[in-house]
Structure 1
């Protein structure tokens, strides 16, 4: 089982978003049979089996073992991952394009960049899983509390200058055997203010 898996197929995304199937996926973090799941979710075993077949068809769950009980063979299933992310690839016709209106001060442009990040890293993970390899990545996730809006703006400008300097130092367009990498940095208000319990949008 993977820690996290990426859903790129529209039909698989639809299956995972069904409330009951999503509940079954969560329950299958630990292996279980349809009989065991039926007792947990309060559905008939036949109905649970119907949902399990759909989830298995789309690669969201997998067979762990088969147990023989009298004249019945019980299939024990498990989710293929502890959690899932739906890639914008699943909504290809309406997925955002950050190249359309690049604006580093726009929250919607930031969301488009983040969607592309999910799509790109998702494709890399899918390919690496097939090849049984790891993807070389690096990420920084920190919180910073600014005393004022001017401090925030100054931080953003200094961060941009620092990154541009590093890119200029290490980027080599002509390097034989070199490989392109994408660097994404984002700055946005915290969704929940830990001290007041309010969202940043509620504050001045």
Structure 2
């Protein structure tokens, strides 16, 4: 089971967003049979089976184990990931294009950048996983409290200069290209 899976297929996204199927995915953090799930979620086993087949057809659940009970084979399924993120390309082929927004300090630009990040890293992670490799990434996530807009602007200027200096120091034209994204946004009230 992956930690996070990026969904890039519209039918898989629709399946994952269906309330019953989303609940089944949540229940399948550990392998379970249709009968076990039916008891947990209070839905008939046949209906659970119907939804599981739809999820399995879209690659959102996988066979974890088969058990034989007399002449009956019980299939235990597990979610393919602990959580899912829907790629912006599911909505539109031109989604998540930060180049379409000239204002690099706008919320729209940041959201498009985040969408591109989901799309690119999701595709790279899928390729790495299918070849049995690990995708090397770097993530820095921190919080900072600015006393004033002037402090925020001074921090942005200093951070920009530092990053540009580091990029110039380590960049090689014949090296493997990497994308570096730094973003800052106010924390929503509920996250404070």
Same fold (TM over 0.5): yes
SS at match of 1:63: strand
Instruction: Identify the match of residue 183 of structure 1 among 164, 180, 185.
Output: 180
Give the equivalent residue in structure 1 for 2:43: 43
Give the equivalent residue in structure 2 for 1:82: 82
Distance 1:102 1:78 in 2: 44
Q: Residue 94 of structure 1: CA displacement?
A: 5.1
Question: 2:68–2:74: 8 Å Cα contact kept in structure 1?
Answer: yes
Question: 2:89–2:96: 8 Å Cα contact kept in structure 1?
Answer: no
The 5 Å alignment of 1:14-29 reads 14-29=14-29
Q: How many residues align?
A: 192
Q: Residue 193 of structure 1: CA displacement?
A: 6.2
Q: Residue 69 of structure 1: CA displacement?
A: 2.8
Give the equivalent residue in structure 1 for 2:108: 108
Runs of 4+ in 1 over 3 A off after TM superposition: none
Cα distance, 1:189–1:18 mapped onto 2, change above 3 Å = same
Distance 2:162 2:100 in 1: 26
SS at match of 2:98: coil
Give TM-score, length-normalised by structure 1: 0.89
- Residues 119-145 of structure 1: CA deviation (Å, up to 9, x unaligned): 110010010011110111101000001
- Residues 74-97 of structure 1: CA deviation (Å, up to 9, x unaligned): 211111111111112322335131
The 5 Å alignment of 1:134-173 reads 134-173=134-173
SS at match of 1:66: strand
SS at match of 1:93: coil
Question: 2:101–2:108: 8 Å Cα contact kept in structure 1?
Answer: no
